[in-house]
Amino acid sequence: MQKRIYLSPPHIGKYEQQLVTEAFVSNWIAPLGPQVDAFERELAEYVGIQGAVALCSGTAAIHLALRYLGVGPGDCVFCSSLTFIGSVCPVIYQGAEPIFIDSEPDSWNMSPLALERAFKDAEQTGKFPKAVIIVNLYGQSANFDPLLTLCQQYDVPVIEDAAESLGASYKGKASGTFGAFGIYSFNGNKILNTSGGGMLVSDDREALEKCRFWATQARDPARHYQHSEIGYNYRLSNVLAAIGRGQLRWLDDRIAERRRIFDRYVEQLGNRDGIEFMPEAPTGRSNRWLTVLTLDPHRCPLTPNQVLDALEQENIEGRPVWKPLHLQPVFAGSLYYPHEEHADFSTTVFTQGLCLPSGSNLTEEDQDRVIACLQRVL
Ligand SMILES: *Cc1c(COP(=O)(O)O)cnc(C)c1O
């Protein structure tokens, strides 16, 4: 059996170990510490925003943002459907209800048409969402101009779920900096990996201070332990922040490598009948976290599952596209707004799409193995 090729494995360089050693030598093996402070500062500077709070996960970051925006029982939140469930779980933690919005073909992200219809319906019922969570899928920014125009028109704040899109941009502005809050994830498979972690960012420093307070068990400023509110244990460890600082130094290289991997797939497979790759919207630059393609069922004899089986037989890990959240059993009965009245784009992408190995440490040799397997089966 040939060695396994993973979808998006960790890619750790020398800086990470140096910085972790610094954390050990200074004996800051703790939640909080100088590495955490530096990581927050350096990431905020990298994306060009006023402040950042390092947390134990991207999901925790969304949770704090929702709480700050006052989302609670009886409220609803408009959410992207074509994404990972971590984007929406915090809506449920807050006792609110998600309403799912479809994606559009150009960016695979939230459809302005569907969002507009959802707002129009809210106008009818008088029940407006407390927030809109907009995801940047597979490293590509959503189409923010029309989306933000709508949200501003209805005066509803936006949380930008940039968990997958650190380092990407939209019209030259960094992914994660478009909403009232932005969030990133540093989970093991993301483009910046601390084994697990996340970041909440905003230009509103006061809001960030409140979230930092909640994330640290809501400790009132007093020598003894005093609490007037309930918080969470959501902060990032100083050791993991050291890994994150090292990863951040490589980030531009990692993006270049992932984009090169994407380009090679397109070069070798792009002219095959029935195959299409996830487009890069002209409005932005994707970090190409994962290379994703779709198979047209009318022109390609194989389904994504058959292709994934063929890859698996050669010890290569692929994945289907995220199953849309409005199709998940746990969200059965939720409201859903498709892109067009009878065109459910996210379900189409789910049934036709698959993700290929895209790690920035994928060698040309290994990528050739993936390409050869695909050429054989397709
Ligand atoms: C990974 C991910 C999250 C959750 O991040 P965690 O750090 O794993 O909690 C949320 N949204 C999207 C789109 C993600 O890909």
* Residue 230, phi then psi, degrees to nearest 5: -95, 130
Could you say which of 2.160.10.10, 2.30.30.90, 3.90.1150.10, 3.30.310.220 is the CATH number of the domain covering 250-377? 3.90.1150.10
CA–centroid distance, 321 to ligand 1, in Å, is 15
Closest ligand 1 atom to 196 CA: 7
Scan for tokens 């969002």, then name that residue.
Answer: 115
- Which residue has a Cα nearest atom 11 of ligand 1? 87
What ranges do the domains of the chain cover? 14-249, 250-377
In this chain, the answer to whether the domains covering 14-249 and 250-377 adopt an identical fold is no
Closest ligand 1 atom to residue 83 Cα is 13
The residues of the chain scoring below 70 in pLDDT are none
Task: Output the pLDDT for position 301.
Answer: 87
Q: Distance, CA 59 to ligand 1 centroid (Å)?
A: 6
Ligand 1 centroid vs 64 CA: distance in angstroms? 14
pLDDT confidence of residue 62:
98
Burial of 333 (0-12, 13-18, 19+ CB in 10 A): exposed
How many other C-beta atoms are found inside a 10 Å radius of the C-beta of residue 364? 10
- Helix-helix angle 34-47:238-269, to 10 degrees: 40
| DSSP state letters, 315-358 | TB--EEPPPPGGGSGGGTT--EE-SBTTB-HHHHHHHHEEEEP-
**Ligand 1 centre distance from Cα of residue 77 (Å):** 17
Which residue has its alpha carbon closest to ligand 1 atom 3? 86
> Is residue 190 among the annotated active site residues?
yes
Ligand 1 atom closest to 59 (CA): 9
Buried b (16+ CB within 10 A) or exposed e, 36-49: bebbbeebbebbeb
205 by Cβ neighbours in 10 Å (0-12 / 13-18 / 19+) ranks as exposed
Structure confidence at residue 1 (pLDDT): 80
The amino acid at residue 235 is R
**Ligand 1 — pocket residues by CB below 6 A?**
57-59, 83-84, 86-87, 135, 161, 163-164, 185, 187, 198
CA 297 to ligand 1 center in whole angstroms: 30
Which atom belonging to ligand 1 lies closest to the Cα atom of 189? 1
Give the mutation target among 8, 56, 87, 160 for probing the ligand 1 site: most ligand atoms within 8 A of CB: 87
* Residue ranges of E strands in the chain: 51-55, 76-80, 97-101, 131-135, 158-161, 169-170, 173-174, 181-185, 198-202, 275-277, 284-285, 291-295, 319-320, 336-337, 353-356
pLDDT value, residue 29: 87
Q: Which fold has domain 14-249?
A: Aspartate Aminotransferase; domain 2 (3.40.640)
Among 3, 127, 190, 210, the active-site one is: 190
Hey, whose CA ends up nearest to atom 2 of ligand 1? 163
Of 187, 191, 346, best ligand 1 pocket probe by most atoms within 8 Å of the beta carbon: 187
Question: Rounded to two decimals, what is the model's pTM?
Answer: 0.97
Ligand 1 centroid vs 285 CA: distance in angstroms? 20
Site to probe by mutation for ligand 1, drawn from 7, 8, 89, 161 as the one with most ligand atoms within 8 Å of Cβ, is: 161
Q: Closest Cα to atom 14, ligand 1: which residue? A: 163
* 138 C-alpha to ligand 1 centroid (Å): 11
At residue 18, the pLDDT reads 95
